[in-house]
């Protein structure tokens, strides 16, 4: 168990914008940062980070919280895992309190898989550097590839010994359970026997964006034709091939900084580029590119440069992945290397300056590249040329942005020497066909001319009391310590017994104003969570503590912390729309705090009076008349009070 002092140090040190910036490309937006949601598939930013409050809010999914809750949501960390990740990131030494046997048993199966993968990473890496077979076979192979000691350490490269069950036996001896070894795919179990999946292979750990080992890739070094050259871990609860990119952990910061990601095919391509000095490189690890992998990059940048081998064989099949990238609304460039070269060999045999110049000069826009590639196949063949043009228009149809589509259509018309109108017509046909296919898929059983009367949906009633209590919590969080002049209403009656309010100006802090008004009216929160938060906030203020929102959130349990983040970030929605760019200026939140406080309290009083009147009328009337005439007078007084408050509210507003 992690000590309280360590947790406090982590919260004091960690910056939410830095933590989230490792996973999401953030752009400055006033005093905040905004970016694409890492939880939903979107193309317009709905994700907001507040460095001042040290919280975040994802308006598309409704999630929010602090740096720890982000890691728990995004990386599926437990609370201790998130704290340990932040401690490692900021170089904080972790002080742990001994766990009981019962606490140790609470570790779930998912965490066991992570722990085994972490152990395996260290085990294989140690084999490579410390054992004779590892040095003679594995290390020699990496040295032949030109990898330095620093690179080997950075990518945690390793070697799996040749023995049938060397790793499995050692892991079991260390206390890891065979069932979890099997689930990770590191061990294969057949009846009473178990053996290593990756025996005799050099090992490439596959890390998540946060740096946890998800699985492995292993390359065989013998000429065994029956064995696959590369072998990956099978799917597990922590490793999903379609959602992982090799090298993303080491590349993420550079991708965001360079605003570009190089996409290659193999492990060694990534490593060689990084060693040469170009770190913003990832690989799909030999599997077909998937939308999930593209969206992983899209969190960091909207620009992808796909690097292909010089060998043209299979290039046309590989380029199909470009359409998937276009569908995600990303910008694509393509670069091929000279014949006989691949990203690995070219980076190894050239200096950084030569490599950078080559990439800069030879990276072509996808439409230009596709035109040059396909045009070679269509020389002096009108039918093939027509097919080539149609192929290019199909790619353009995948682009969601209308302006980009039009620009590319015009470029295609220029390159292929064909009428723009013909291409626009072809594009329209493709889009119409796709729309029909989507519509048909969405409603396959619907018959033509079938009129279906939609069921009337009940109007969702706003819970006014909930909103008012929520507003009070928001005011306390944002302005609790602020000192303001308030116009108080002093109740008085004239000689005729008529009730009225006399205004009186007083100066106090916001929290004192709210606390005393609610206490005078004997008002209690009806929502238990709000009631608890109100008590905690007022207690801190009454004790004379320097109330800091970020510190307060960090001390709350996860559910409350998320709710507080929602409340604080809800008024940041307008920043996502960049109203000022359109010369629409939003009024500052703190312009007129006393007015907001007074209005909220008056509304709460009026609402509670309304409830009281309804309660009296329903309980004290019989056949339309009052059982007790004194109750009638009370109702009249409440109605008068309600009218005065309404009048006062109109004046405040």
Could you read off the pLDDT of 559-587 as tens digits, one per residue? 788 788 888 887 666 555 554 444 444 44
Among residues 2, 14, 5, the alpha carbon closest in space to that of 80 is found at 2
The two beta strands, 281-283 and 261-264, are parallel
Burial of residue 599, with CB atoms counted within 10 A of its CB: 0-12 exposed, 13-18 middle, 19 or more buried: middle
Segment 620-633 shows an average pLDDT of 58
Say how far apart CA 120 and CA 181 lie, in whole Å. 10
| Residue matched to tokens 């871990």 | 233
In the predicted structure, residue 412 carries a pLDDT above the cut 60? yes
CB 366, CB 404: distance < 8 Å: no
Closest C-alpha among 203, 294, 304, 283 to residue 243: 294
End-to-end CA, the chain: 53
pLDDT band (50, 70, 90) for residue 536: confident
Confidence tier at 591 by pLDDT (50, 70, 90): low
Closest CA to 92 of 2, 217, 219, 31: 2
Reduced to 3 states, what is the DSSP secondary structure of residue 517?
helix
pLDDT tens-digit series, residues 121-143: 999 999 999 999 999 999 999 99
Helix H segments across 175-224? 178-184
Pairing of strands 364-365, 483-493: unpaired
318-345 tens-digit pLDDT? 677 788 888 888 899 999 888 888 899 9
The domains found in the chain, sorted by start residue, are 4-101 (3.90.580.10), 107-239 (3.90.980.10), 248-428 (3.40.1360.10), 464-573+581-652 (no CATH)
Q: What was the pLDDT predicted at 582?
A: 42
User: Tokens at residue 399, please?
Assistant: 């682009």
CA angle 320, 325, 327 (to 5 degrees): 100
What pTM value is reported for the model? 0.65
Residue 44 has pLDDT above 50, yes or no: yes
Pairwise pLDDT comparison (32 vs 124), residue with the higher score: 124
CA 78 – CA 84 distance, rounded (Å):
10
Residues 6+ positions from 623 with CB-CB distance below 8 Å: none
Give the highest mean pLDDT range of 306-320, 426-440, 623-637: 426-440
HSE, CB side, 13 Å, CA atoms: give it for residue 343.
28
d(Cα 303, Cα 57) in Å, to the nearest integer? 25
Strand partners, 483: 509
646 or 314: which carries more pLDDT confidence?
A: 646
What percent of the chain is predicted at pLDDT more than 90?
26
Of the candidates 434, 363, 429, the one whose C-alpha atom is nearest the C-alpha of residue 390 is 429
∠151-154-158 over CA atoms, to 5°?
85
Contact 2, 83 (CB under 8 A): yes
Q: Span 414-420, mean pLDDT?
A: 84
User: Which run of H or of E encompasses 532?
Assistant: helix 528-542
Quick one: what percent of the chain has pLDDT higher than 70? 80
């Amino acid at each position: 168990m992690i000590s309280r002092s360590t947790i406090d140090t982590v919260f004091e040190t960690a910056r939410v914008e830095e933590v989230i910036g490792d996973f999401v490309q953030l752009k400055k937006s006033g005093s905040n940062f905004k970016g694409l949601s890492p939880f939903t598939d979107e193309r317009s930013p709905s994700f907001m980070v507040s460095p001042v409050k040290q919280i975040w809010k994802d308006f598309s999914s409704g999630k929010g919280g602090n740096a720890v809750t982000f890691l728990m949501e995004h990386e599926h960390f437990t609370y201790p895992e998130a704290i340990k990740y932040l401690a490692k990131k900021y170089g904080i030494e972790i002080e742990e309190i001994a766990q009981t046997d019962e606490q140790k048993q609470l570790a779930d199966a998912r965490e066991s898989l992570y722990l085994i993968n972490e152990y395996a990473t260290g085990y294989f890496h140690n084999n490579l550097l410390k054992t004779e077979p590892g040095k003679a076979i594995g290390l020699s192979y990496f040295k032949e590839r030109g990898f330095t000691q620093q690179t080997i350490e950075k990518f945690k490269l390793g070697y799996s010994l040749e023995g049938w069950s060397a790793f499995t036996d050692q892991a079991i001896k260390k206390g890891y359970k065979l069932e979890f070894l099997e689930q990770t795919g590191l061990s294969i179990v057949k009846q009473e026997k178990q053996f290593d999946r990756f025996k005799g292979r050099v090992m490439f750990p596959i890390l998540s964006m946060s740096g946890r080992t998800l699985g492995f890739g292993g390359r065989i070094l013998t000429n065994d034709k029956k064995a696959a050259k590369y072998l990956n871990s099978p799917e597990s609860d922590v490793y999903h091939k379609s959602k992982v990119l090799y090298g993303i952990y080491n590349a993420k910061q550079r991708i965001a900084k360079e605003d570009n990601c190089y996409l290659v095919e193999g492990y060694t391509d990534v490593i060689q580029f990084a060693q040469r000095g170009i770190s913003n490189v990832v690989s799909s690890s030999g599997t077909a590119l998937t939308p999930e992998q593209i969206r992983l990059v899209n969190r960091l940048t909207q620009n992808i440069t796909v690097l292909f081998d010089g060998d043209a064989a299979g290039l046309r099949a590989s380029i199909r992945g470009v359409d998937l990238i276009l569908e995600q609304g990303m910008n694509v460039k393509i670069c091929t290397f000279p014949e006989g070269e691949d990203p690995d060999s070219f980076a190894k045999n050239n200096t950084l300056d030569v490599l950078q110049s080559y990439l800069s000069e030879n990276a072509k826009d996808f439409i230009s590249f596709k035109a040059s590639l396909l045009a070679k196949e269509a020389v002096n063949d009108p039918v093939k040329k027509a097919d080539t043009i149609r192929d290019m228009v199909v790619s353009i149809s995948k682009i969601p942005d209308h302006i980009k589509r039009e620009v590319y259509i015009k470029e295609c018309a220029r390159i292929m020497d064909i009428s723009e109108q013909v291409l626009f017509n072809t594009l329209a046909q493709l889009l119409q066909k796709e729309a029909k296919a989507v519509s048909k898929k969405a409603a396959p059983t619907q018959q033509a001319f079938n009129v279906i009367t939609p069921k009337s949906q009940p109007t969702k009633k706003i819970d006014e009391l909930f909103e008012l209590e929520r507003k009070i919590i928001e005011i306390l969080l944002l302005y609790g310590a602020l000192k303001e002049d308030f116009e108080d209403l002093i109740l008085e009656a004239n000689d005729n017994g008529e009730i009225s309010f006399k205004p009186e100006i007083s100066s106090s802090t916001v929290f004192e104003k709210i606390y005393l008004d609610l206490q005078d009216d004997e008002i209690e929160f009806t929502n238990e969570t709000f009631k608890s938060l109100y008590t905690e906030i007022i207690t801190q203020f009454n004790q004379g503590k320097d109330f800091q929102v970020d510190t307060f959130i960090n001390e709350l349990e996860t559910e409350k912390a998320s709710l507080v983040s929602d409340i604080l970030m809800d008024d940041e929605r307008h920043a996502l729309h960049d109203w000022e760019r359109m010369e629409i200026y939003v009024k500052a939140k703190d312009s007129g705090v006393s007015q907001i406080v007074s209005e909220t309290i008056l509304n709460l009083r009026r609402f509670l009076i309304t409830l009281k009147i309804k309660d009296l009328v329903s309980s004290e009337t019989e056949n339309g008349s009052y059982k007790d005439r004194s109750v009638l007078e009370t109702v009249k007084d409440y109605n008068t009070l309600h009218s005065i408050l309404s009048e006062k509210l109109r004046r405040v507003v």
